[in-house]
Homo-oligomer: A and B are copies of this chain.
Amino acid sequence: MSFVIWLTGMSGAGKTTVARGLAEALRARGVAKLEVLDGDAVRENLSKGLGFSKEDRDTNVARIAFVAQLLARNEVNVIVAAISPYAEARAAARERIGASFVEVHVDCSLPELVRRDVKGLYAKALAGDLAHFTGVSDPYEAPENPEIRVSSESQSAEQSVAMILAFLEARGEL
């Protein structure tokens, strides 16, 4: 079977870093059919024009789920990296994709995200200058029961990747 590793987490939590590291590790293990659907690229290709209201975010997540499902049912493995802040939209993605769906929460505390603030967005949002910013001016509904939870605060990206690989091995996917 194929898998869809769905990385959810706040901006700057390290989803893209984990996605890239995981893709590299999977390719090194001979996983030939693999696509990475990363939030920004997906917005450019599937969701230009959508904003950051709940409705638009949910639509964006639904589109990613639609594409991931098309790939997964043809035995192409997928890594999704998307904030996907709402539990209900993630549950709908899980429902659509079925048994291939593996939810991975890329966790990081707000104080640490504010400390890093690579793009300066947390400072802006905390100052009240950025509406609909997940975790500050918009909710992030952390997964209550994800298949895997990794932390970019207490773990290296390599350790997070290793956890996901171990999960896939245990499932007989690798």
Contacts and interface: CB of A to CB of B under 8 A. Distances in A.
Size category, A interface: 10 to 19
B74 A35 contact: yes
Contacts of A50: 49
Interface string A44-73: 011011100000000100110011001100
Contact of A70 (B48, B62, B63, B67): B67
A33 interface: yes
A148 interface: no
A76 interface: yes
A71 B76 CA distance: 9
Contact of A45 (B45, B66, B71): B66
A96 to B, nearest CB: 10
Nearest to A65: B45
A54 B143 CA distance: 40
A66 to B, nearest CB: 4
Contact of A46 (B63, B74, B75, B76): B63
23 contacts: A33-B74, A33-B75, A35-B70, A35-B74, A45-B62, A45-B66, A46-B46, A46-B63, A46-B66, A48-B59, A49-B49, A49-B50, A49-B59, A67-B67, A67-B70, A70-B70, A70-B71, A71-B71, A71-B74, A71-B76, A74-B74, A74-B76, A76-B76
